[in-house]
Amino acid sequence: QGTLHKTVNVFVCNSRGDVLVQRRMPTKDVCPDMWDVSCAEHLKPKETYQEAALRGLYEELKITLCGPLTMAHDEHRHEIRLPEKGVWDREVQTCFCVHYDGSWEADHVEVAEARFVPLE
């Protein structure tokens, strides 16, 4: 607990400017049953942020992309402490955006529900 590790967040936006958000499963330790970014992944050893983002998009939403993603935010540190749950999450994160109008399907092992919402 408290070990610094790398994570990536991805925002999927459609041509109308809506963003795909997902509600986390109620069984998650951190922010259960809360709305979150389109996709979030922990990096595997030797995996790049881009590789983890593409893997996560497929695992969580069945989205397959071929091209590079657009970086929306450089690396930064993020920390969550929930002592009542024994959680101390220390991350080095980066964030990507992707424009996507194709089909998708939420993986209900990871995602309680997902939907596009307007940014306004």
DSSP states along 57-87: HHHHH-----SPPEEEEEEEEEEEEEGGGTE
Radius of gyration of the chain (CA): 14
Q: Per-residue pLDDT for 114 more than 70?
A: yes
| Confidence at residue 13, expressed as pLDDT on a 0 to 100 scale | 93
Instruction: Please report which confidence band the pLDDT of residue 4 belongs to, taking 50, 70 and 90 as the band edges.
Output: confident
pTM here? 0.82
pLDDT digits (tens, 9 = 90+) for 54-69: 999 999 999 998 777 8
